[in-house]
Chain A
Amino acid sequence: KNEVEQSPQNLTAQEGEFITINCSYSVGISALHWLQQHPGGGIVSLFMLSSGKKKHGRLIATINIQEKHSSLHITASHPRDSAVYICAVGNYGGSQGNLIFGKGTKLSVKP
């Protein structure tokens, strides 16, 4: 079992829809990161959080430390939001490195 699980793996939405991507983890963490990767490869860090909730524009990230669960929400989705969203947890010193990654959620937003 992977230490970081994301769901769903693939998500297709219509423009304007509210989107939720979930991340569950089974290890102790220092922080949780949400990353975005567009076709072409570059990864952009969206959020880093260790408690509560953060908001940036149409993106909202929440984390529940007790339940070891985080969600990324996109309000009023737009085709430019189409990308792979990756959840990663900070886990210092492990053989998987200081960040353990989920497999990613591929989001496609149709106009």
Chain B
Amino acid sequence: KAGVTQTPRYLIKTRGQQVTLSCSPISGHRSVSWYQQTPGQGLQFLFEYFSETQRNKGNFPGRFSGRQFSNSRSEMNVSTLELGDSALYLCASSLEGTGSYGYTFGSGTRLTVV
């Protein structure tokens, strides 16, 4: 079966711009979680969507937002980009996302803000 697909793989944006990243989960998985990974901070939780509803949110500013569509595909948006937003953004899909079931991760989107 197809894995988790994240697009685009690489992105270069200018400070102040906005960006939208996409994540298509494994068919049948209703939970999509987003993470930011930087060398200094490791993996940090952004938010989780389940059946089109944001179920949990990490400690990130309001510039970071997301949504999930009826087909479970999810997007995250970062507005007014800052240099510190440069990171690898990973999404993970799970059957129900409580941590008791397996997670499948995408290959990530590497965002560089210049």
Query: Which residues of A come within 8 Å of B, CB atoms?
Result: 29-31, 33, 35, 40-45, 48, 50, 86, 89-99, 101, 103-104
Contacts and interface: CB of A to CB of B under 8 A. Distances in A.
A50 B90 CA distance: 25
A93 B88 contact: no
Given A93-B56, A99-B33, A42 B106 contact: yes
27 contacts: A29-B99, A30-B99, A31-B101, A33-B102, A33-B103, A40-B107, A42-B105, A42-B107, A43-B90, A45-B102, A45-B103, A45-B104, A45-B105, A48-B101, A48-B102, A90-B98, A90-B100, A92-B99, A92-B100, A93-B56, A95-B45, A96-B45, A97-B33, A97-B48, A98-B99, A101-B42, A101-B43
Interface string B72-104: 000000000000000010101000011111111
Nearest to A44: B105
A4 to B, nearest CB: 10
Contacts of B104: 45
B88 A41 contact: yes
A36 to B, nearest CB: 10
A99 B42 contact: no
Tell me if A's interface is mostly helix, strand, loop or mixed.
loop
Closest 4 A-B residue pairs measured CB to CB? A90-B99, A97-B45, A43-B105, A30-B100
Interface of B: 33, 35, 37, 42-43, 45, 48, 56-59, 88, 90, 92, 97-108, 110
Most buried by A among B43, B45, B106, B108: B43
Given A95-B57, A97-B58, 18 more contacts: A30-B98, A30-B99, A31-B99, A33-B102, A41-B90, A41-B107, A42-B108, A43-B108, A45-B105, A48-B102, A50-B100, A89-B99, A90-B100, A95-B45, A96-B45, A98-B99, A99-B33, A101-B43
Contacts of A101: 42-43
Contacts of B101: 31, 48
Given A29-B99, A86-B43, A97 B56 contact: yes
Contacts of B92: 43, 99
